[in-house]
Amino acid sequence: MKLRKTVIRMLNMCPDAWYIFISSIKLTAFLLLGAFMLLLSWGGSMSEGYTQYMTAMSLYETGEALLMIGAIFSVCIEDVQSSRR
């Protein structure tokens, strides 16, 4: 029941908050795709492909952080906009 209310609330966000949320999802997906491609080309050898592995892991962690920051900013903007109404 709470999930339904949350989804309805998200779909009624103001355009600025929605733009930030969708943009952060797109950028996170792009970073995760890049990390996945690096892991595919890595080959599993830590002695030869350590830099590729670490780059992929940093892209993965950056994507998570970016999504969290985008969600927090979109919630803050939505809160400010709803308090002005």
Whether 6 maps to a domain, the answer reads no
Domain count, the chain: 1
Question: At a CB cut-off of 8 Å and minimum separation 6, what does 64 contact?
Answer: 28
Whether 40 maps to a domain, the answer reads yes
Whether 64 maps to a domain, the answer reads yes
Whether 38 maps to a domain, the answer reads yes
Look at residue 73 in the predicted model and tell me its pLDDT: 93
Q: What pTM did the predictor assign?
A: 0.79
Per residue in 18-67, pLDDT tens?
Answer: 899 999 999 999 999 999 998 888 877 777 778 888 899 999 999 999 99
Q: Can you give the residue range of the structural domain that contains 33?
A: 15-84
Whether 46 maps to a domain, the answer reads yes
Whether 77 maps to a domain, the answer reads yes
Whether 9 maps to a domain, the answer reads no
Whether 62 maps to a domain, the answer reads yes
